[in-house]
């Protein structure tokens, strides 16, 4: 059974703070993803990684960076949090590069930036 865990379920930060969101998967998946979910906008891809130390920009990478030092861990970094980054952040992983690969999601981190 695939498990994707996220370090925090809820997080409150102040504008300008550096924020780290951690994601760990336990199924040796190659690909990992970070999305944010906002009302009326669905899930939007921020960054993804298909291998250790590799990263690709998604659709909305501005204001974010990522780190993948180990295969099982993918971190999302908000260098200087802003109020418009208040959102639900979802991490996902998938096994390989086949088109049909299902993505498995973590429970999400709800971030509030004051």
Partner 1 sequence: DQQVKQNSPSLSVQEGRISILNCDYTNSMFDYFLWYKKYPAEGPTFLISISSIKDKNEDGRFTVFLNKSAKHLSLHIVPSQPGDSAVYFCAALSRGFQKLVFGTGTRLLVSP
Site for partner 1, rule CB under 8 A: 4, 9, 31, 35, 40-45, 48, 50, 58-59, 90-92, 94, 97, 99-108
Q: Would you say how long the chain is, in residues? A: 114
State which residue, 15 or 102, has the beta carbon closest to partner 1. Answer: 102
Neighbouring CB atoms inside 10 A of 72's CB total 16
Question: In the structure encoding, which two tokens stand for residue 49, read together?
Answer: 């990684």
Closer residue to partner 1 (CB): 17 or 30: 30
Least separation in angstroms between residue 62's CB and partner 1 is: 17
Do residues 113 and 15 lie in contact, with contact meaning Cβ atoms separated by under 8 Å?
A: yes
């Amino acid at each position: 059974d695939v498990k994707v865990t996220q370090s925090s379920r809820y997080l409150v930060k102040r504008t300008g703070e550096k924020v780290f969101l951690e994601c760990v998967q336990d199924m040796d998946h190659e690909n990992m993803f970070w999305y944010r979910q906002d009302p009326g906008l669905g899930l939007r891809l921020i960054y993804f990684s298909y291998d250790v130390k590799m990263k690709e920009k998604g659709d909305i990478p501005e204001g974010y960076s990522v780190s993948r030092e180990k295969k099982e861990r993918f971190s999302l970094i908000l260098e200087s949090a802003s109020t418009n980054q208040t959102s639900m952040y979802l991490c996902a992983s998938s096994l390989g590069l086949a088109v049909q690969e299902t993505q498995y999601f973590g429970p999400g981190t709800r971030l509030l930036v004051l």
